[in-house]
Amino acid sequence: MPRKTEDNPTYDYNIYKIPVNKVDEFCKFLEERKYEEIPLKADLIVNPNGFSFKLMFCDKDNKKGSPWVSLLSSCSEWDLSQNLKIYGAALICQSETSCYVISYGNAHFYLSDYCDYGFGIKIAERLINLDSVKAQQNVSHGGKLSKTHIDYLSNSTLSYRGGEIPTYIKGDSINEDVWGKSIHCGTSAQFKWEEKPLELGEKLALLDQVYNSESTVSLPRLIALDSDKDADKIDELFSVLAEAITNYDDSAQNTTLINVPSFYMVGTKLIQNDSIRFKMSCNRKNKQYDGELSIEAIKSFLSDKELDISDSIRSIKLSVEYGNDQWTPYKPLIEYLEFVTENNFCLRNGKWCVFNNSYIEQVLRDVGKVTFVNHNSNDWRFDKSDLVTYAKTNNIYEDKDKQPYETYYNHKLAAMLNGNMIHPTTVPVEETANRRYRYEVCDCTVGSGMYFVKIGAPADFAYAVDQAMFTLSKIQNGYGKVKLPNEELFEPTEFHLVLINDKRKTIINEWKDVYSINFLIHLSELKQSLNSMNISLVVDFVYNF
């Protein structure tokens, strides 16, 4: 509202953008919530520049009023300042091609189903000097969607990391004379302007030009789809997911970073060993599996139970064994499955999201800081027949159909590096309670380093990242130390992810050769978390050729 001490007062404008084809629906929505259209003083409309103005106002019996009510009252034929209790108003500014809504009072609560969520950040890209950021809020999508952190800065450069997106930015405008001194950008864009409400046509026309212009800066965006508003798109994406599972070929050579399908299997973050088991259930049909979750296991379940993937994908539930015949509650399969389409939609933590190319570019920049080493020598090489021979020679061979190659490799690696073998021994997650929940701290330790080993493809490598993240959480809670199975308190300075490419035919020369944006997002989050504990990260790639 206007500052009384200023010769040229400025007014606060909280501006949202909504599609023109949703204006009527939005107005009807407001009317259902006791808003009504108020006639405006036509002679106060100055330089509309193609915009028409419509004021929707909410009257709920209060005599005190709010500062902005007097301002709007001066623009209208009615005196809005009498006998009002709770105020809400939406000034709808519409042209042939655009619509902006200026929100007052509680009206912003009703805009969520109609507004363009990317509008505020697009304005920030074009109108904020990103080298003079005063405050920002980032959301991390490398883990759970709800993970947030806020940085309060002072004339600093906008900062964010791989897997993060800025959702709120406050900074100096690039042109104070036109846009005011500072701008706040989130879902909406907030300005302080000298113009009164019915004098905004020229400003909004300029804002429209800015919004539709090319930007030299592109900030990463990843937005969750709305289950109601985007229901048709979500149905379409589940069809794409079903088709990708049906046509999945684990032996196919991927050729692009965002390949279809690009899957990431989310682990339980408890036990990570050869004996893990899980159950799938759908429409009262159940089956138990040994090993870790895979696309092939999902396809096998559907085939065995004669289920149609398109009809069943949202109904399949998963339970994972976390201890000796102790199982997690059933949860939807889609909460364990992450998936990327070729047109920038992804399934993450059971929710469909859409992201832009800048999001990928930032992830690649961040993961580019992770050191990786290619091991092509015979010492590190993964060969199943050699491992069986090694196991028999060292009396650790198990006579069964499914060989625990990961266990054999861990023994070999620990011996080769003169390390301490831990896999598959587990420790309690908590020392209190019944100690039922257990996890594997790591596969082996060497000096002050912890090694996490996984065989397969990026979808399988996810388990190593999840295991490392869970162990890191215990280290953070233990002030830099974690208890090993032998009761020793271990203080690591380095994490090694030993990722064994079982079927890959080419060497990884750069991170985009991994061909899984999902895996890289999780890896970059691990790197960021390790940095906060001053623990370095090295990825050791091992091959079987």
For 449-475, how does the pLDDT look when each residue is reduced to its tens digit (9 = 90+)?
999 999 887 767 877 888 898 899 899
In sequence order, the β-bridge partners of residue 375 are 542
The enclosing H or E element of 25 equals helix 23-31
Mean pLDDT of the chain: 82
Sheet strand arrangement including 444-446: 371-375, 536-543, 494-501, 449-456, 444-446, 420-421
Identify which has the larger pLDDT, 79 or 5: 79
CB 428 within 8 A of CB 441: no
Q: By the 8 A CB rule, do 442 and 463 touch?
A: no
Confidence (pLDDT) at 259: 35
Task: With cut-offs at 50, 70 and 90, classify the pLDDT of residue 435.
Answer: low
**What is the predicted pLDDT for the residue at 393?**
94
Residue 106 CA from chain centroid, whole number: 29
- Biggest CA–CA distance in the chain, Å, is 95
- Name the pLDDT band for 506 (thresholds 50, 70, 90): confident
What was the pLDDT predicted at 322? 64
Residue 444, CA distances (Å) to 218, 420, 425, 441, 498 in order: 42, 5, 10, 9, 11
> Residue 534 class from Cβ within 10 Å (0-12 exposed, 13-18 middle, 19+ buried)?
exposed
Give me the helix-helix angle, 201-211 and 119-127, nearest 10°.
90
Q: Is this structure's pTM higher than 0.75?
A: no
Q: How far apart are CA 419 and CA 410, in angstroms?
A: 10
pLDDT at site 374:
94
Write down the pLDDT at residue 207: 95
Backbone angles phi and psi of 350, in degrees to 5: 80, 5
The residue to which tokens 């069964």 are assigned? 400
Nearest to 275 by CA among 311, 211, 321: 321
Query: Could you read off the pLDDT of 55-113 as tens digits, one per residue?
Result: 999 866 554 456 677 788 888 888 776 554 567 899 999 999 999 999 998 888 888 77
C-alpha span between 100 and 92 (Å, rounded): 6
SS3 475: helix
**pLDDT recorded at residue 257:** 34
Distance separating alpha carbons of residues 262 and 256, to the nearest angstrom: 10
**pLDDT band, residue 346 (cuts 50/70/90):** confident
> Which carries the bigger pLDDT value, residue 462 or residue 196?
196
The stretch 386-408 carries a mean pLDDT of 90
Those residues with Cβ within 8 angstroms of residue 500's Cβ, 6 or more apart along the chain or in another chain:
382, 409, 453, 454, 455, 456, 542, 543, 544
